[in-house]
Structure formats: C-alpha cells, structure tokens
C-alpha cells in the first residue's frame, strides 16, 4: 500500500513517544553522571563552581538585557533555573520569581482581554 502525503510525518518531526523515551533516557544518564560527580569532592566542587559561573552569567546577561526590547527577564529566569539545580537559595528565589512572572502574565492577559472587549 502506497503512503499518502497525509500518512507521511512532517520532515524533521519525531513522534512524541520517541521523544519521551529519549528524554527519559537522557535524564537517567544525567542523573547517574551527577551521582558519580557527587561522590568525588573535588569534582563536585568544580561542577558546582561551573554551574554557579554559567547560571550567574546567564542571570547577569538577563539583567543587562532587561531594559532592551526582548526576552531579558526570561533569560534571567533561565539563569535562576540553572542555579537552582545546585543551590537551595536559588531554588527558592526561582520558585518565587516564576510565581511572580506567571501572576504578571495573567494580569497582562486579563488587561488585554478587557481592552479588546
């Protein structure tokens, strides 16, 4: 039976089940690698320092980009997300910042809806 264009997935499209399985496998591998790093105190310190530098740099870049048009606040939130993978204080700040961002987005959405109505 010949395939019709409707049966053929879009070029570059990966079925969701394959993506989910791949993601789960990568998560397991990353978790295992992180556990190996945690067992070695020197590697753990170096890893945490690297996360701190990358996350801190991303937050700083986001703060610099905030006054400019574009996704400065999202970049800063992403940096907080990176930091929160290793530092409890950043995890708390990231959670409250994400809550605030969602609340602000909802307020903007409601204001737009009222304006259009």
Token couple for 117? 């109505």
pLDDT of residue 14: 63
The pTM is what? 0.65
pLDDT of residue 26: 77
* pLDDT per residue as tens digits for the range 10-67: 566 666 677 777 777 777 887 788 888 889 999 999 999 999 999 999 999 999 999 9
pLDDT of residue 13: 64
Closest CA to 85 of 29, 30, 20: 30
Higher pLDDT, 105 or 16: 105
* pLDDT per residue as tens digits for the range 65-98: 999 988 888 899 899 999 998 898 988 988 898 8
Cβ–Cβ < 8 Å for 63, 52:
no
pLDDT of residue 12: 62
pLDDT of 9 higher than 70 = no
- Give the separation between CA 86 and CA 53, rounded to whole angstroms: 12
Where does residue 91 rank: exposed (0-12), middle (13-18), buried (19+ CB within 10 A)?
middle
């Amino acid at each position: 039976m010949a395939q019709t264009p409707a049966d053929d997935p879009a070029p570059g499209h990966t079925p969701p089940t394959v993506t989910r399985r791949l993601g789960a496998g990568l998560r397991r591998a990353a978790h295992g690698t992180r556990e190996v790093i945690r067992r070695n105190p020197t590697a753990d310190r170096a890893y945490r320092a690297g996360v701190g530098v990358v996350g801190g740099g991303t937050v700083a870049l986001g703060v610099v980009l905030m006054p400019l048009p574009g996704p400065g606040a999202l970049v800063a939130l992403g940096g907080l997300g990176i930091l929160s993978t290793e530092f409890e204080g950043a995890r708390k700040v990231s959670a409250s910042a994400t809550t605030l961002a969602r609340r602000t987005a909802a307020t903007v959405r409601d204001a737009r809806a009222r304006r259009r109505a």
